């Protein structure tokens, strides 16, 4: 039964208002940052922050998916799947300030000096639950009968996984990597508590805004981050679409 014109118009209006509420705040950085892009390259502290953020995002995207894969396999293979789920998803429910402070104190007790490695540790801890859910969803679409067929044909366990299951869940792993990079690029609170003298783009934006307010360079930087995040989201959606075609193909 089709909706009446008045109901359809009300529905479209509601959707339009929701989209405006979500995306209109992203417009000012793009408009006000037009003259600030040159200032980014002229600020050595900001250039270092950009390099740190890109490096951390790349490393997080490399480190997190294999750990998420191990977690998803533990859910399937071990007899305590709920416990594994609880352990891996628990960081989602721990407040960011508490998690960051606890990690900072723990590293200080161990005598670990703040560095890119400590920031990477926090980023992996925070991105792992998200990547784990993506990989777990990808593995849920895989039919174990293919592995059983490989075992019957004499393939060892590792070879069966590498040749049969891994190609089918690879889009999920790529999606987990993209999501990990997105979360890493946008992480602020936990990073600020373990970064020491280093900066990421997000911590630079936050501290600069608190000290001097917004500037064309900050608007330009925010617009670049928005564009990069949208590009990574597009990669994530493409990976999801490929996974769907693999499953239905």
- pLDDT tens figures, 91-113: 999 899 999 999 999 999 999 99
When pLDDT is averaged across residues 24-53 and rounded to a whole number, the result is 81
Q: Specify the pLDDT at position 242.
A: 56
Using CA atoms, how far residue 89 sits from 49, 76, 128, 138, 208, in Å, is: 29, 16, 8, 17, 33
When pLDDT is averaged across residues 50-71 and rounded to a whole number, the result is 95
Using CA atoms, how far residue 150 sits from 117, 140, 142, 157, 247, in Å, is: 40, 19, 14, 9, 18
The larger pLDDT score, comparing residue 230 to residue 70, is at: 70
What spatial distance separates the first Cα and last Cα of the chain, rounded to whole Å? 32
The larger pLDDT score, comparing residue 174 to residue 157, is at: 174
The larger pLDDT score, comparing residue 246 to residue 153, is at: 153
Q: At what angle do helices 116-140 and 166-185 cross, to 10 degrees?
A: 140
7 by Cβ neighbours in 10 Å (0-12 / 13-18 / 19+) ranks as exposed
Q: Specify the pLDDT at position 213.
A: 81
Confidence of residue 10 (pLDDT cuts 50, 70, 90): confident
Q: Specify the pLDDT at position 3.
A: 55
Confidence of residue 150 (pLDDT cuts 50, 70, 90): confident
Q: Specify the pLDDT at position 113.
A: 92
214 by Cβ neighbours in 10 Å (0-12 / 13-18 / 19+) ranks as middle
When pLDDT is averaged across residues 63-85 and rounded to a whole number, the result is 92
Q: Specify the pLDDT at position 191.
A: 94
Q: Specify the pLDDT at position 54.
A: 93
When pLDDT is averaged across residues 66-83 and rounded to a whole number, the result is 91
Q: Specify the pLDDT at position 245.
A: 55
Confidence of residue 222 (pLDDT cuts 50, 70, 90): confident
Neighbours of 80 (CB within 10 A): 11
Rank 25-34, 137-146, 176-185 by mean pLDDT and report only the highest: 176-185
Phi/psi for 245 (5° steps) reads -70, -35
The larger pLDDT score, comparing residue 62 to residue 223, is at: 62
Where does residue 215 fall: left (phi above 0), alpha (psi -120 to 50 degrees), or beta otherwise? beta
Q: Specify the pLDDT at position 239.
A: 59
Q: Specify the pLDDT at position 231.
A: 83
Q: Specify the pLDDT at position 8.
A: 82
Phi/psi for 214 (5° steps) reads -85, 150
Percentage of residues in the chain having pLDDT higher than 90: 40
Q: Specify the pLDDT at position 240.
A: 60
Q: Specify the pLDDT at position 2.
A: 53
Q: Specify the pLDDT at position 104.
A: 92
Contact by Cβ (8 Å): 175, 240: yes
The two counts, helices (H) then strands (E), for the chain are 13, 0
């Amino acid at each position: 039964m089709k909706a009446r014109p008045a109901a359809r118009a009300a529905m479209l209006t509601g959707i339009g208002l929701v989209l405006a509420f979500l995306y209109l705040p992203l417009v000012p950085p793009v408009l006000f940052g037009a003259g600030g892009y040159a200032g980014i390259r002229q600020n050595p502290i900001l250039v270092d922050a950009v390099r740190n953020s890109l490096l951390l995002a790349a490393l997080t995207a490399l480190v997190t998916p294999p750990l998420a894969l191990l977690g998803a396999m533990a859910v399937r293979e071990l007899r305590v799947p709920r416990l594994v789920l609880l352990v891996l998803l628990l960081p989602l429910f721990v407040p960011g300030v508490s998690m960051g402070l606890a990690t900072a104190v723990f590293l200080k007790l161990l005598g670990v000096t703040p560095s890119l490695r400590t920031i990477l540790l926090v980023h992996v801890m925070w991105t792992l639950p998200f990547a784990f859910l993506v990989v777990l969803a990808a593995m849920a679409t895989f039919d174990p009968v293919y592995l059983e067929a490989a075992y019957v044909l004499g393939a060892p366990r590792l070879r069966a996984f590498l040749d049969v299951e891994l190609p089918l869940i690879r889009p999920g792993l790529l999606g987990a990597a993209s999501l990990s990079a997105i979360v890493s690029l946008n992480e602020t609170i936990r990073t600020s508590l373990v970064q020491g003298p280093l900066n990421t783009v997000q911590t630079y934006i936050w501290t600069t805004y608190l000290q001097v307010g917004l500037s064309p360079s900050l608007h330009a930087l925010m617009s670049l981050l928005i564009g990069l995040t949208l590009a990574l989201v597009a990669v994530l959606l493409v990976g999801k679409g490929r996974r769907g075609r693999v499953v239905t193909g």
